[in-house]
Every structure is written in structure tokens, then in C-alpha cells.
Structure 1
Amino acid sequence: MRFDSIEVEKIMPKHKAKYVTILREPGRLFESIFDYYYEQVPFFQKVPTTTRGDINEWLDMAPTLYAKRANKNKLWFIGKNMEFFDFGFNPLNETDEYIGAAIKKIESQFDLVLISDYFLESAVLFKDLMNWEWKDMRTLKLNSRIKVNDGPVPEQLRKKIRKWNKADAALFDHFNATFWRKIQDYNLEKMRVDTVALKRLNEEFEKECVTANATLDDDNLLYNPGQHLTLKGYSLNKDSKKHWECSRATMGTLQYSKKLRDEYNEKWRQIEDGNEFET
């Protein structure tokens, strides 16, 4: 969803809800975006592959490509400040004033900005914000790419990516700093202990839910544009197929979204019919 505070607040008023979002380090994010959406974005196909060498070459021609986007594909925005776009801002406006105002607005709208590069720490801060139980925080890493470029993005390429995605880089730098200040406030030693506990909890959850080397069923199939990627998915073991936590933790994003829509549509139907229902 592209964030629109006015529309979201109609459904989830700010005084009744917690607003949480997540950012990723721009270097790895752009490399992932380029690889994942390569088949869908014609601009990306100006180079023959999604290797780091070709990404580097594409970045050299990117300013010219975007300056001539009269024939722009509807997905043109994927290649330029995509996180900034997702927050509802213009990804082509990279003036310091505009980016600074956007950061201030995001700060005023969101209670917590997580960092996906530090997912366990983010989950702990989220648990603390929501006052949830540890059992509520169990997750499985889903939809990540397998057999991608090993190691960190080379520094020269990272700098080029950050220069091209100036707004995304500014967002990350600002909210990464605030993220670590929140961890300091939480207590570093307590965070260390809690992340170890959460990692162990997730490992136990995987053993409870998942069977190895099985074919994914329809619920667990993952969205794979172009079908050129190998994505991490799971198949449930026999004992856990009826366990709703295991089922939802391994469900593909499109199937999960449909399930949520169907459930809420049914609840609204019951409201309109004047029937009571369980929340």
C-alpha cells in the first residue's frame, strides 16, 4: 500500500491505533528491487542481467532514462526512491527542503520506524510498543531470495545507489539513527538477551510447523515475478496443517491478503445484516 494518512485515518484513527512502518538499508534494498522486479520494469532491462556489474552500468544510464520517461511504464517509480514513494511523496523531488519536510511528517505520523536489517531488534521494540506476549512475536523468514549475491554490497556500488536514491538514503540514515537511540533507551543488555530469546523461539516455531523438502501447496506458493528467482518458502508438516499460527506464518503474501479481505468482508456483511459476530 502507498501510504495516504487521510485515507488510513478514516479506518484507523490515529488516537486509537499505533502506526508502525519499516525501512531497509538502501544498498541491499535497491539490489533486491532490481533483481525481484527485473522482468516487470522495462527500464531495468536496459542491461542484460541483474548482477552487480550490470546494476552498476544501469545506474550510469539511469538519469538519462528517467529524464526521457515520456513513454514511462506504470512501474517506473520502482527504480527511484521506492521507499520515499511508498510513504506518499514524489520520488523525483530530491531537494533538501522537500526531503527534510517529508522526514518530519513521517516522524509525526508513525509511532515506530523499524529497520529490516535488524529484524530481531525491530521485533523486540515492536513487542514493547504493543505490550504483546513473546508467543505473539513468533515468525518465519518468508519470501527471501536464495542464492543471491554473497556478501555486502561493495562500497563503491553502495555510494552510487545512495546517490541515485538520495531521498531513500536520507530516510534510512535519519530513522536508523532514531532506531538505535530507541534501543539505547530500551537497554542494550536487555536487547541482547531478548533477541537471543526471540531467535530461539523462532527456531522452535519452525521445528513445530515446517517439514523439509516438501512441495509447496497453493496456500504457500510465493509471488515470483518472472519466475527467475528462488524464494524461501515452507511446507507445513501434517500435525501443524490445522494450526492457524503455523498456517499463517507460512502463507504466501497474496493468499494471506485475500484471506484477510475475505474475513473482513464477512464481518462487514454481518454488521450490515445486524448480526453479532466475534472479534
Structure 2
Amino acid sequence: MNILFRFGEYRNLTFAFPTYQQAQFFYPSYFQSTYVEGFSKDSKKTFHIMCHHLRFQLSEVEKVMDNHTFYFTILRNPVSLMESSFAYYTAMDIFSKARSLEDFINNSSYFYKSTSESSHYAKNLMVYDLGFDHNGPESAKHFKIMQQTVETMFDLVLISEYFDESLVLLKDALCWTFDDVLSFPLNSRKNTTKVVLSSETQEKIKNWNQYDWQLYVYFNRSFWNRVETFGRQKMQQEVEELRTRRDQMSQVCLQDEVDPDQMRDKSLTPFQAGRARIVGYNLNPNLNKTYQHLCQRLITPELQFSELLYRKQMNKTLLSRNNNPHKNRKTNFKLSQNRLKKI
């Protein structure tokens, strides 16, 4: 999101924001076009970027976005995803009674309730977010249909475990530059809040999240097929270039990565959830003014960045209306002070 936010801000592009300045599009409900601030079926307003969290529904997204929109998503190994989910959402009813992730996965028939509104956090979370039934029948036929559907809907599927390679493919597909995909790791947990899972538990998680696992295996394979087409040697060179640029900017921008309690600028504190402890950054106190804006944007968490862009976009809209002599209607503008959790 940070990459897309910076790309859009620097080029004065229009974002599709959730209504009422929410952090997501009324998740976990299916996305509806009416969830977009300023959208109406009769409006000719153009939206360039939609990147806030949603439960995907292509027919509704297409009502908002241009016919030539580039669609991409990212997948993560279901084992690490579930370990992370348990840490983030441990207070939710689906996890709250389990003493540990191992306890949950070993006694899933007792803990798991498919009717729970938070059931998707505990089973096939990626499939759910992509718009499918996370409790659907498990068979080779259903797996294949799902894989083919995702492949048809999305122009590019990135892999979290190969994030730098993914950024290179994204850069190539969109004809962007290295500076466009430059980023620092955000929303990272302290290692002390991460749990090392046994091989047995990992296999049980794969079986439990069979839809997610089949999806991940399929697109992990197609990802590396795409890398082959791109060129292995070229990929290695571009990944090295990207990492070199990131290291250089780290030296320029950052003093250190710290616990949120140790951040000097509290306005840049990342959202904290569950047992997870999300770290942040302190900027270099001797930062050259030339890099001040870029460095601050690179470490701005998505909630704060989203609010900043929302205000800029709404103020620009109000200014445009006030300068239009043919529109003299009163416009009320109020920003919600409630920050909803970003999934």
C-alpha cells in the first residue's frame, strides 16, 4: 500500500477510498461499488487506484475502475499466514478459547465454528478474501476451478516470500522504475511475538487450509514460470539493484527500527493488534531536507498515510466545487476520528 500511495500522491492520481474514511471497504462483506467515496453509477469521476482491503467481487470493482485497469494481488504461505493471523486476531471468538495455535489446529473440530463471523481468519483466509467460499467442498475439481478463476481475474499474482522478485515483476509489468517500487518493510512484528512451529503442526495447517495451500502451490509455480520468461539472470541483477537502492535509502533515512514505545514521532506509530508487536522506525535526526519528504513517506503506516491522502483528495474536491460557478450547493465535509483496524 505504501508503494501505491506514494505513486499516486506524487502523480496527483485519484484513489478509490472507502466511504466515511474507513480503513477498508466494509470488510468482511463482499465489496460493493457503493462503498467507494464519491462514486455513483451516473458519475463520470475517474478512479486511478483502488488498494484498500476488501473482499474481492470483480463485477462490482469493474463498475468503479476503468476497463484497462491492471489487477494484481499477493499470496503468502498459508503456514506463516495462519501463525500471523493467530497472533493478530487471538481475541476474536474463533481463536479466543485456544491456548495456542497448536491447540487450535489439534482440536479444530472443537474450536472452529463455520458460522462465526470471524471464521475466515482461522481457515482459508486468502481464498475468502479473493471472494470464494472458504468452507467449500475440497476436491481436485474445485481447486482447479478456483485456480483458473483467479488466473483469469488477475494480471499478476505476487508471492510474499519472494517480495523483491515480485516487485521486479510488478515494475516490469507496469513499466515503472526502481524508485517507484522502492520500499521499507512495514507492519513487521518483533521476533519475540513470532512462534516457531513444528513440522507436524505445519503439515496440519496445510491440510486444514487446503484451499489456500492449493492456491499457493499453483501460483508459486506460475510465479517462477514468469521469472523464467523474464530471465533468471536479469531477475537476479534487478533484485540486487533494488536491494542496493533500499540499503542506500536506509542509510539516508533511518536511524533505527524500534519498538513503538521508542518511536520519537508518535504520529507514525503503526497500529497494534492482538499479541503482535508491530515495530516502527526513527528517522535519521540529521536528515538532509532534500530527502525529508520521501523518507517520512517511506515509513508512514497505511492508516496514517490513507488519512493524509483522503484529506488531500477531499480538500481538492471541495476546492474544485467552490471554484465552479455552476455549482453553488452547500457541501458538508466531516472526517471520522475513528480509525478502524486494517486487515
Q: CA separation in 2, counterparts of 1:175 and 1:237? A: 39
1:258 to 307, 314, 331: 307
Residue deviations 1:242-279 (CA, integer Å, cap 9, x gap): 7332222111121122223223333443454565xxxx
Identify the residue that residue 85 of structure 1 maps to in structure 2: 128
Structure 1 portions without partners, runs of 5+: 49-53
**Against the structure 1 CA distance between its residues 100 and 271, is the aligned structure 2 distance closer, same or farther, given a 3 Å change threshold?**
farther
Matched, 1:4 2:57: yes
Q: Which residue of 1 aligns with 2:23?
A: none
Task: Report deviation, 1:66.
Answer: 2.8
Decide which of 253, 266, 289 is 1:218's aligned counterpart: 266
Name which of structure 1's ranges 262-271 and 194-203 shifts more when overlaid on structure 2: 262-271
Q: Quick one: which amino acid aligns to residue 60 of structure 1?
A: N
In 2, Cα distance between equivalents of 1:99 and 1:263: 43
CA spacing shift, 1:95–1:274, aligned 2, 3 Å: farther
Residue 128 (structure 1) aligns with: 172
In 2, the alpha carbon distance for the partners of 1:262 and 1:154 equals 46
**Contact 2:263/2:269 (<8 A) preserved:** no
Query: Higher mean Cα deviation, 95-104 or 169-178?
Result: 95-104
Deviation for aligned residue 1:155: 2.5
Q: Are the equivalent residues in 2 in contact too, given 1:94–1:167 (CA < 8 A)? A: no
Partner of 2:89: 37
Structure 1 residues 243 and 95: alpha-carbon distance in aligned structure 2, compared to 1, 3 A threshold: same
- How do 1:147-226 residues align onto structure 2 when only pairs under 5 Å count? 147-148=191-192, 153-212=197-256, 215-226=263-274
TM-score (norm 2): 0.71
Give, in whole Å, the separation in 1 of the partners of 2:137 and 2:265. 44
Is the contact between residue 183 and residue 191 of structure 1 (CA under 8 Å) also seen in structure 2? yes
* 1:51-91, Cα deviation, whole Å (9 max, x unpaired): xxx32221122133334x55x3x323211111111111111
| 3-state SS, counterpart of residue 45 of structure 1 | coil
CA distance in 2: counterparts of 1:92 and 1:115, whole angstroms: 23
CA distance in 2, matches of 1:232, 1:109: 34
Amino acid aligned to 2:268: N
Moved more, 161-170 or 231-240: 231-240
- 1:167-220 deviation digits (Å, cap 9, x = unpaired): 110110111010000000011111111111111111111122122365242331
CA distance in 2, matches of 1:17, 1:173: 26
How well do the aligned residues superpose, as a CA RMSD in angstroms? 2.3
Distance 1:85 1:270, change over 3 A: farther
Q: Please tell me whether residue 27 in structure 1 is matched to residue 82 in structure 2.
A: no
2:292 pairs, out of 243, 246, 262, with: 243
2:102 to 31, 49, 56: 56
1:65-76 pair list within 5 angstroms: 65-67=111-113, 72=116, 74-76=117-119
Name the residue aligned to 1:108.
Answer: 152
| Aligned counterpart for 1:47 among listed residues 77, 80, 98 | 98
Count of matched residue positions in the alignment of Structure 1 and Structure 2:
264
Q: Is the 8 A contact 2:263 2:280 kept in 1?
A: no
Q: Give 1:5 shift.
A: 1.3
Amino acid at match of 1:66: Y
Task: Specify whether residues 167 and 208 from structure 1 end up closer, same or farther in structure 2 by C-alpha distance, changes over 3 A only.
Answer: same
Q: Which amino acid letter does the alignment assign opposite residue 154 of structure 2?
A: F
Deviation at 1:31, TM superposition (A): 0.8
1:220 partner letter = L
In 1, Cα distance between the equivalents of 2:193 and 2:284? 31
Identity within the alignment, %:
30
Show the counterpart of 2:137. 94
CA contact (8 A) 1:127 1:133 kept: yes
Greater share of residues in helix: 1
Compared CA separation, residues 7 and 156, structure 1 to 2 (3 A): same
Contact 1:56 1:157 in 2 (8 A): yes
